[in-house]
């Protein structure tokens, strides 16, 4: 039970299991593993796929022959292990050239270098079979708004995404682009700070149908928001192209903890949403092991993410089948249909009926909604005392 299988689409980034535990106050605590060693680790724990940034795989200053050799070895181990590469992305934040952003930099040389780096990696991603291309604009922001115009930055960002959509089409790649929001860190403020902001931005693009979002749980929690609500909105808009699962305390720095580590109830409702709607994309764990861990601990971390997901999935099915919970829900919603003739498309006749209908305000307001009972039953189910 709770064994990961390919159909679960569990993926990890090379940068997640490869994270060496450095933080702003201390250096790495784990020796680095090569991309090939990381593939072996992921195959051992039962992941379906691996995602990568260009420079997780190929050092930024690799020579063409080093690059070719790395790609050859990587492809061989992918073939041997059966691991897929569903998503690729570009590192547009580590190198000092990106110190003031990439696509939103005021310097045209930086913006064009970011385009170059992205196109080169889109070529490789397509070769490795990636269907989703993620854009996380970690440095696309400011510390001081004296430094650049937010409107100019948005314009530059729009031009870059439009350009890259055209590049993808021109190459026949069929990529879906997934924009990932984060409110802050490493910048003081990052533009388009939430998945909702990204959805608004997408509507202004030349090819909005090619572009969706990659919401990350920790990033919405950093902003104090309800992640499941953000994911529901993305799903409703047909824009949930990818998802980054992890965990963290609300309104703190980017903790990137193991999925399910902290927010049990939020994680449960998130998994329930994904499973209830039939989300078919990757379940990507964008997180890393605690700094206290060696590579055995990294495997515990990776297995824990997948196992927790599957336990939440089982709990979601249990919630949907629990007769006390379901009859309570039916009772709560029982009066919802009483004005059914008024629902649906607008007509002036309907509008006039609604305008003149005699609502018994006090009676409607006086009804207890039984949410205390429903929530307690939910908690007891999560705490494992309902069978
Ligand atoms: C980085 C960031 C993540 C992004 C990755 C993709 S890199 O680790 O914290 O949220 O998804 O660029
Ligand atoms: Mn994160
Ligand atoms: Mn992420």
Instruction: State the pLDDT confidence band at 334, using cuts at 50, 70 and 90.
Output: confident
Q: How many Å lie between the centroid of ligand 2 and the Cα of residue 262?
A: 15
Smallest CA separation from ligand 1 atom 5, residue: 136
Q: Does any ligand 1 atom lie closer than 6 A to the CB of residue 134?
A: yes
Q: Does any ligand 1 atom lie closer than 6 A to the CB of residue 244?
A: yes
Question: How far is Cα 103 from Cα 92, in angstroms, rounded to an integer?
Answer: 9
**53 is an active site residue:** yes
Q: Does any ligand 1 atom lie closer than 6 A to the CB of residue 136?
A: yes
Q: How many Å lie between the centroid of ligand 2 and the Cα of residue 255?
A: 7
Q: E-strand spans in 67-155?
A: 87-89, 132-136, 141-142
Q: How many Å lie between the centroid of ligand 1 and the Cα of residue 94?
A: 11
The model carries a pTM of: 0.97
Six token digits for residue 3: 């064994």
Instruction: State the pLDDT confidence band at 240, using cuts at 50, 70 and 90.
Output: very high
Indicate whether 338 pLDDT > 80: no
Q: Does any ligand 1 atom lie closer than 6 A to the CB of residue 286?
A: yes
Instruction: State the pLDDT confidence band at 307, using cuts at 50, 70 and 90.
Output: very high
Whole-number pLDDT of residue 188: 98
Whole-number pLDDT of residue 387: 81
Of 8, 23, 40, 53, the catalytic one is 53
CA atoms in the 13 A half-sphere facing the CB of 236 = 9
Ligand 1 atom nearest the C-alpha of 218 is 10
Six token digits for residue 214: 């990659």
> Which residue from 272, 222, 275, 214 is spatially nearest to 245, judged by alpha carbons?
214
Ligand 1 atom nearest the C-alpha of 90 is 12
Minimum mean pLDDT range among 84-93, 291-300, 333-342: 333-342
Q: What is the mean pLDDT of residues 330-345?
A: 81
Smallest CA separation from ligand 1 atom 7, residue: 136
Q: Does any ligand 1 atom lie closer than 6 A to the CB of residue 216?
A: yes
* pLDDT cut 70: percent of the chain above it: 99
Q: What is the mean pLDDT of the chain?
A: 97
Indicate whether 163 pLDDT > 80: yes
Element (H, E) at 84: none
Mutate to test the pocket of ligand 1, among 138, 195, 252 (most ligand atoms within 8 A of CB): 138
> Which residue from 195, 304, 182, 191 is spatially nearest to 253, judged by alpha carbons?
182
Six token digits for residue 6: 């390919």
Mutate to test the pocket of ligand 1, among 15, 253, 289 (most ligand atoms within 8 A of CB): 15
Instruction: State the pLDDT confidence band at 335, using cuts at 50, 70 and 90.
Output: confident
Indicate whether 340 pLDDT > 80: no
Smallest CA separation from ligand 1 atom 6, residue: 136
Indicate whether 339 pLDDT > 70: yes
**56 is an active site residue:** yes
Q: Does any ligand 1 atom lie closer than 6 A to the CB of residue 248?
A: no
Indicate whether 25 pLDDT > 80: yes
Q: What is the mean pLDDT of residues 276-303?
A: 98
Indicate whether 336 pLDDT > 70: no
Element (H, E) at 71: helix 64-81
């Amino acid at each position: 039970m709770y064994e990961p299988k390919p159909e679960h689409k569990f993926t990890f980034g090379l940068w997640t299991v490869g994270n060496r535990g450095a933080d702003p106050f201390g250096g790495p605590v784990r020796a680095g593993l090569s991309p090939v060693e990381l593939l072996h680790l992921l195959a051992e724990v039962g992941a379906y796929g691996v995602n990568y940034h260009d420079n997780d795989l190929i050092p930024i200053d690799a020579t063409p022959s080093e690059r070719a050799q790395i790609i050859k070895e990587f492809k061989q181990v992918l073939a041997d292990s059966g691991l897929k590469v569903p998503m690729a992305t570009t590192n547009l934040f580590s190198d000092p050239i990106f110190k003031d952003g990439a696509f939103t930099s005021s310097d045209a040389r930086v913006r064009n270098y970011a385009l170059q780096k992205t196109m080169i990696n889109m070529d490789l991603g397509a070769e490795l079979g990636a269907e989703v291309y993620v854009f996380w604009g970690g440095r696309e922001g400011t510390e001081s708004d004296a430094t650049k115009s937010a409107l100019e930055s948005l314009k530059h960002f729009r031009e870059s995404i439009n350009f890259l959509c055209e590049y993808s089409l021109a190459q026949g790649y069929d990529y879906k682009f997934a924009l990932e929001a984060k409110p802050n860190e490493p910048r003081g403020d990052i533009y388009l700070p939430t998945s909702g902001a990204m959805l608004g931005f997408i509507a202004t693009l030349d090819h909005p149908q090619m572009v969706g979002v990659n919401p990350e749980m920790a990033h919405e929690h950093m902003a104090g928001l309800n992640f499941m609500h953000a994911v529901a909105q993305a799903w409703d808009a047909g824009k949930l192209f990818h998802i980054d699962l992890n965990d963290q305390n609300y309104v703190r720095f980017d903790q990137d903890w193991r999925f399910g580590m902290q927010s049990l109830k939020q994680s449960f409702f998130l998994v329930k949403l994904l499973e209830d709607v039939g989300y078919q994309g990757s379940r990507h764990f964008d997180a890393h092991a605690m700094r206290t861990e060696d590579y055995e601990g990294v495997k515990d971390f990776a297995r824990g993410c997948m196992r927790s997901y599957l336990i939440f999935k089982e709990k979601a099915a249990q919630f949907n089948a629990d007769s006390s919970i379901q009859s309570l829900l039916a009772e709560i919603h029982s009066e919802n249909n009483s004005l059914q003739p008024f629902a649906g498309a607008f007509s002036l006749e309907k509008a006039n009926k609604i305008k003149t209908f005699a609502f018994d305000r006090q009676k409607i307001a006086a009804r207890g909604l039984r949410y205390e009972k429903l929530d307690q039953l939910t908690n007891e189910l999560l705490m494992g005392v309902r069978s």
